[in-house]
Structure 1
């Protein structure tokens, strides 16, 4: 449907609004086909579809151990520093008439998920035509009363701004306004940006959860499929869209549990070395020393080396907190491993010159750095190495001056 067809359809819809207020047999049949319920709140009715998916046995056992609380302060960069009861979480996902957002984009399927004792309960509001949003917005209020955290995937950039603006345009109070917003796209990138080709939800399903969707509809085709339904009334693709949205909600729930298991590392839950490394980087960036210590032990137990970039960042954190012996130990480890050599030489030279006032030791590291630079430059000239040489040469002059003046 091109822009002319869309405008023509919108004009026809506005002209027939009075007629559409009557619930016709086609809408009743569609509701039965989708196994839904007609909801009418002061305006045109919408179709409410409810479904349920039980937790796996492993998920049930894990949640029993965790007392149904989620705690992921590292993956959320301390946005959530206290455990979140699952009962406080509302999963939220939209299907819309466009993928770019903006005032011309309408939500036609508004999906929610709630964590219950045995699984995930979904509630989806399907709008079989335009002009029906208000019934959905009014009906969902009762469901939101007992929740305080909105769980989405890329919802901060797309789903939430869109529905917020639609509520404003329809003069409906925003029931999400007081909710904290946990967008799992950002924790997913922090966890897998160096290992996955894409952090899209469907790619995480395939590469992390190891399953592919059966009889699914491509998300990029959903807007055109809805417009086809408006023109033809054929609901086959609508059923696929509803199933697609349900799976998004179930996968979001599963992803949240997976992230909690991965960050905690408790109860024998396996996590990959790359995931442990990502969690360690987050622990360093948030100065969580207890978590750093436990993750360092895990690397040792697995007989794996902590990445040099992580050790660099950790050493600078220790330096800022005046934990000099530990920082020096890391710089010496990096030298022994032959990694981040110039960084380590420079930090050790600064430490012995300024902290210990041991100028001869600082001079030793400075000379070793210059020798290393000259050796590498013989193999391949590098402008960056020349800059380093100037820095170390100046330090060499200053140290010699200090030693001679004593």
Structure 2
């Protein structure tokens, strides 16, 4: 009896795998755009409140919704961008720039995917938001089946234009790479055309991470706008809802997924306008000390020490602040040339017993040695810093060297008298 050849066995397994992965029509043939059951797709469109569009490469569901200007979302009112004088690019970047943005050029986008990344991850729902005269419009593209992916990508690609600035939440590291990969795999395009890409997650962390437990979009909605989503589906369940549709044609939870994506995009607009207002009004909308301190650190990195002093002067006069805030304030005072206030802040820190008290003692030693030439006081401050057990070994060596130098200077001064 002839034994099965290893090659034949391999071919058999490959055919079996192909049968499993390739979509088939009820008659057994490969599914194409022409022979897909229209009733299945129409049911999907009706379930999510959208319309079915048939394109050359397949069919997609499109859902459109506009939130009117003046509508209330939590304690926030959706206001047209004309209500603010300008949208500054510097509000969303670490560095300073004078460039401003036109609201009509902004395209907000968010993807719901089949996994958290990787080569096989597919964006089955892509939402795009933009400003119109009536309000903020969100247009969403839903994938009925994997074989329609090229059609969805071509429709989405029409939203992305070279003159537009993309706005996302963690989209630089997640959404955009997945879309770009799927465009390449489907031979639709090689890049996402855009002028630039603003990611609101880093901008949010710069301002709010010191106060909030995390900077997830839902957390920011609740803390900044008092907006709590009703009947929202958790993000980790979204892929399973889509798989359920593919396997059983169950549409029960798909409307919730579309609504989840809609709120994500609408929240991005609110967040962008709020962050922009913080910088345009130079911190006026902020009511928490941690947020004001975070803003002052942004100004500090940009070399705007006068703004750091102004912000933290007001905070320290109104309430008790942490040694960390006082220390940062003292450095801004020093860099702006206000030595009197800087010295007062350092002396205030000496009694805190924190790491900032060590740095304050070192700064006072420097000040007394180089500015007032009071070597005796400088030596006292340097020894105070050296006695603190929390001083790192690398810094301890530098402080010990300072103590030795001051002892020599003091001895020389005494012997010359």
User: Contact 1:287 / 1:317 at 8 angstroms: preserved in 2?
Assistant: no
Q: Extract unaligned runs of 5+ from structure 2.
A: 1-15
1:53 matched residue in structure 2: 67
Aligned partner of 1:334 among 346, 359, 363 = 346
- TM-score, scaled relative to structure 1: 0.83
In terms of mean alpha carbon deviation, does 124-133 or 307-316 score higher? 307-316
Matched with 2:137 is: 121
Please give the TM-score of this superposition, normalised by the length of structure 2. Answer: 0.81
**Structure 1: tracts of 5 or more residues without a match:** none
Whole-angstrom distance in 2 between the partners of 1:87 and 1:347: 50
Once the two structures are TM-superposed, the CA of residue 267 in structure 1 deviates from its matched residue by 11
Give the counterpart of 2:261 among 245, 253, 267. Answer: 245
Q: What does residue 134 of structure 1 align with?
A: 150
Q: Does 1:288 align with 2:290?
A: no
Give the secondary structure class of the aligned counterpart of 1:263.
helix
- Offset of residue 45 of structure 1: 1.0
**Other-structure match for 2:118:** 102
- Give deviations 1:2-39, integer Å, cap 9, x for gaps: xxx99875323595323655562221232233332333
Deviates more, 1:5-14 or 1:50-59: 5-14
CA distance in 2, matches of 1:369, 1:26: 79
Q: Any idea what SS the aligned residue of 2:243 has?
A: helix
**Aligned match of 2:409:** 399
- Report the equivalent of 1:278: 294
1:229 aligns with 2:229: no
1:90·1:147 contact (CA, 8 Å) conserved in 2?
no
- In the TM superposition, residue 89 of structure 1 has moved relative to its aligned partner by 1.1
Alignment partner, residue 258 of structure 1? 274
Matched ranges for 1:50-199 at <5 A: 50-56=64-70, 59=77, 63-67=81-85, 69-71=86-88, 73=90, 75-78=92-95, 81-99=98-116, 101-145=117-161, 147-174=163-190, 176-199=192-215
SS in structure 2 at match of 1:347: helix
Q: Distance in 2 between matches of 1:192 and 1:256?
A: 14
Deviation at 1:333, TM superposition (A): 1.8
Hey, what's the Cα distance between the residues in 1 that align with 2:283 and 2:342? 30
Q: Closer, same or farther in 2 for the Cα pair 1:6/1:231, shift >3 Å?
A: farther
Task: Give the Å deviation of 1:44.
Answer: 0.7
C-alpha displacement of 1:74:
5.0
Ranges of 4+ aligned residues in structure 1 off by more than 4 Å: 5-9, 19-23, 57-62, 313-319, 371-374, 381-386
**Alpha-carbon distance between aligned partners in 1 of 2:216 and 2:55, rounded to the nearest angstrom:** 36
Tell me the residue number matched to 1:363. 376
**1:220 and 2:231 equivalent?**
no
Q: CA deviation at 1:64?
A: 3.7
- 8 Å contact kept, 1:262–1:271: no
More off after superposition, 389-398 vs 243-252: 389-398
Deviation larger for 56-65 or 135-144: 56-65
Choose the corresponding residue for 1:390, options 385, 390, 400.
400
Q: Which moved more, 1:309-318 or 1:331-340?
A: 309-318
Instruction: Check conservation: 1:346, 1:366, Cα contact below 8 A.
Output: no
Are the structure 2 counterparts of residues 34 and 401 from structure 1 closer, same or farther at C-alpha, using a change threshold of 3 Å?
A: same
Of 26, 45, 52 in structure 2, the residue corresponding to residue 31 of structure 1 is 45
